[in-house]
Structure 1
Amino acid sequence: MARKGILSTDTSSSTSRTEAKARMMPRGAVGALQSSLTKLQENAVQEIDPALVDDAGFEDRLGLDTAAQKHLVESLRTYGQQVPVLLRPHAKQPGRYEIVYGRRRLMALKELGMPVKAMVRQLDDHALVMAQGQENTARQDLSFIEKASFSAQLQDAGYDRQTIAAALSIDLPMVSRMLKVGTAFDMEFLRQIGSAPTIGRERWMALVKAMEDQGARGRAVAFMKRPEFLPLSSDERFDAVLARAQGVTEKAKTKSPKTSAHVLHGPDGAPIGDLRRSTRGVTLTIGSRSSDGFDAWFEAHAEALLNDLHARFKSEASED
């Protein structure tokens, strides 16, 4: 009985010391611990039902590339989701989420009936804009007009140019140039043309200038309602609209090398390069910003890789 009493006394003393120590723990230490736990939770990847995810942020893609989306679906079906999307808790509907970036992956996973792997972070609207904008900056396949349109949407929402510059990691002069184009067209007009992946700022500025004339705008809009407009690729739609706006007839058009382009994707569905074909040849572009050194590695091994591919081509050609 005595031994039992001693054990009871020791346990009571130990509990008292623990409680006292907890009471004596500095508030700063508790706050730091809570902050660390929050960061761990935000960086943890969770599996979430795509049906619980709603749209948020701004429209950063002008139209859906059905071929690229189909490729992404097949990649996710074969290899699974390698790169998580970013979500935030829904401000008004507990238990639901809003997408910050990763919309194409979310759409593909919905089609496959698979859960979405996601990081969930507490973001206010300003932090959401910064996260979405910086994710866009790192993507190779976002065209000039998509970035310009994104800038215009931010300005319309009340964000100043300094914030827009920070969100897209560009300087203020470039913000001004993008806004000249992005604010010149409404979203419905841009959606009809699409992303126009090979059309840069100078040609968009030419369209802005041409469309200042109401007659030019009328000709362009009228052509966009014709049935032959829809089957065109996004780049071809731009070319046709610019030609009508400038009053150039089909016969008077100067011949320029026809170019076709498409984005090459890795096993995880992420873009790894752009392949363009024109009458002059084939060009492969591997962006340096988001390639994690693949561009430098490719440069170092380019000759060996091309020799292997050429030998394969010769072998297959001889079999035919």
Structure 2
Amino acid sequence: MSLKDKAKKIDFGALPSASPEMVESSLPRPKTAPGMMMSRAADQRSDITRENNELKDKVAELETAAARAAELQDELAAWGDAKATRLLDPKTVTWSKWANRDEANFSTQEFAEFKDEIASAGGNVQPIKVRPIKPDGEVQYEIVFGHRRHRACLEQGLPVLALVDNIDEVELFVQMDRENRSRKDLSPWEQGKMYLQALDSGLFPSHRKLADFVGVHFTQIGKVLSIARLPKIVIDAFVSPLDLQVRWAKPLAELYETDRVTLTARASKAKELGPDRSPKAVLDLLMGTAASPSSGKRTEDITLKRDGKPAAVIRSDAKGNTMVSFTAEALPHSKLKDLSRLIEEFLSRK
């Protein structure tokens, strides 16, 4: 039988497959002791190199992670003082007892337009600031600043965007005062009432100390305090207390100190000027500089004649002031003393 015929009879599928161990065992092995030692050393070097490379990869990964962690720490430090904002139900937010917005502020055309802006934006874009007071209560927050924005959202039925922060009473007062003065100047009346309440409650020991905290000159605080300390009947003489101006504080306060009876009597008459009375008209009445009711308009001139020629004219202005002017011919300088005696005699008559 030929080799070819013998090969055809062999069943190669029944032969066992070669395993790695068999393959490895089939490789030539060193026959001498030094050769075997060199082979083992080569294997160990290969294992060490592989482990070395794995360690290098891990070290590189750790260095990358450490660098990223440092970047994140820097970013976190940059936002360390930042506070998160959140949408609150305005019904869970209450006014601060230091709130310095008079109710008259919320019935103006300006506030109506402000509410329209809030509504068109879907809420307040600039957040208000609050502090937590009763986490589980119906009212959970107290306003630090942003009373107008809160009121607008409340009346529009919109959630109010708010910044929540834990601060004490003094810091609340200072932040409210500074924010309101920088955003929309309060009227002297509102500012004065706020400062007066802080002093009366003992939040600050003196108005100089108050000035130091809020960063306002103490003389300015003194002026608005003078308005806030005016009696209610004087404040009510104006259509709105918001009409009171800082420059009126001193004369009104001085008149109140020197002649309270007269000032009070004049204040009670202010409403007779009607609901459309101007702040200036009320001030003139209170200070006694207003024209009398009978001289509300300028009267006709009275001309005095001598020998058929005009010699003098008597005229009154709208404020009730009366003036007499003479021609040079009718009243030469030599007769001025005679005229003054006649006028004094006239004025002395009852």
TM-score relative to the length of structure 2: 0.52
Shift of 1:203: 1.7
Shift of 1:92: 8.5
Identical aligned pairs, as a percentage? 22
1:30-88 per-position Cα deviation (integer Å, ceiling 9, x unaligned)? xxxx9999844xx2111000111111132422322520110011101112321111111
Name the CA distance, whole Å, in 1 between partners of 2:98 and 2:289: 35
Tell me the secondary structure at the aligned position of residue 211 of structure 1. Answer: helix
One-letter code of the match for 1:195? L
- State how many pairs are aligned: 216
8 Å CA contact 1:216–1:244 kept in 2: the answer is no
Q: Which runs of 4+ in 1 moved over 6 A?
A: 34-38, 252-255
Larger deviation, residues 121-130 vs 186-195: 186-195
Matches within 5 A, 1:44-55: 44-55=84-95
8 Å CA contact 1:216–1:247 kept in 2: the answer is no
Name the CA distance, whole Å, in 2 between partners of 1:225 and 1:187: 11
8 Å CA contact 2:233–2:264 kept in 1: the answer is no
**Structure 2: gaps of 5 or more residues:** 1-75, 298-350
1:262-301 per-position Cα deviation (integer Å, ceiling 9, x unaligned)? xxxxxxxxxxxxxxxxxxxxxxxxxxxxxxxxxxxxxxxx
Structure ranking higher on relative contact order (CA contacts 8 Å, 6+ apart): 1
Name the CA distance, whole Å, in 1 between partners of 2:148 and 2:260: 37
Tell me what 1:69 maps to: 111
C-alpha root-mean-square deviation of aligned residues, in Å? 3.7
- The yes-or-no answer on 1:193 pairing with 2:240 is yes
Name the CA distance, whole Å, in 1 between partners of 2:188 and 2:296: 24
Name the CA distance, whole Å, in 2 between partners of 1:187 and 1:153: 19
Name the CA distance, whole Å, in 1 between partners of 2:233 and 2:210: 18
Tell me what 1:118 maps to: 162
TM-score relative to the length of structure 1: 0.57
Matches within 5 A, 1:60-99: 60-62=100-102, 63-64=104-105, 65-80=107-122, 81-90=124-133, 94=137, 96-99=140-143
Distance change in 2, residues 1:167/1:91 (3 Å): farther
**Structure 1: gaps of 5 or more residues:** 1-33, 256-320
- The yes-or-no answer on 1:100 pairing with 2:144 is yes
Tell me what 2:97 maps to: 57
Matches within 5 A, 1:1-320: 39-40=81-82, 43-62=83-102, 63-64=104-105, 65-80=107-122, 81-90=124-133, 94=137, 96-158=140-202, 159-160=204-205, 161-186=207-232, 189=235, 193-196=240-243, 200-212=245-257, 213-223=259-269, 228-229=274-275, 231-232=276-277, 236=278, 238-251=279-292
8 Å CA contact 1:54–1:97 kept in 2: the answer is yes
Name the CA distance, whole Å, in 1 between partners of 2:234 and 2:289: 24
Shift of 1:186: 4.9
